[in-house]
Amino acid sequence: MSESLIDAADAVRAKAYAPYSNFQVGAAIRSVEGNVHLGCNVENVAYPEGTCAEAGAIAAMIASGDTKIAEIAVIAQASAPVPPCGGCRQKIAEFASGDVVVTMATTSGETLSMTVAELLPGRFDAGHMDASEART
């Protein structure tokens, strides 16, 4: 994990819209093409309608034309590195192989790295949707 990816995630974290929780999160994705895509959390007064930083970075990646994650960094001002929520773990798994490293960081410099497979064991993927495999 390059420090520059954590730095990019931290820079976008400062732009997060989090007036209700004051919990700003930033995410930076490096695509397999080498491009960096950023996202920050965007809250809404109707809490379930907000957007996570990881989802925003994935949307930016897709909008640019890239489709595969090579590495990802997520940062928040917290006492320990904060992992992506369950929904974002599934979103990340849609665009990353199981061995892709997800680095979670705090603004004070603590980091924790895990692979996508470690974050989401038994992930649901397109292979589960094959009708011939679904028969018992």
Active-site entry in 54, 94, 110, 118? 54
Q: Determine whether 54 is an active site residue.
A: yes
pLDDT, one tens digit per residue, over 21-31 is 999 999 999 99
Q: Quick check: 102 and 81 in contact, CB under 8 A?
A: no
Indicate the domain borders of the chain. 3-134
**Domain spanning 3-134, CATH architecture:** 3-Layer(aba) Sandwich (3.40)
Which residue has tokens 């809250």? Answer: 43
pLDDT, one tens digit per residue, over 102-114 is 999 999 999 999 9
| Dihedral sign, Cα of residue 104, residue 14, residue 69, residue 33 | negative
Is pLDDT above 60 for 123?
Answer: yes
Helix/strand/coil for 120: coil
Helix/strand/coil for 114: strand
pLDDT, one tens digit per residue, over 31-56 is 999 999 999 999 999 988 999 999 99
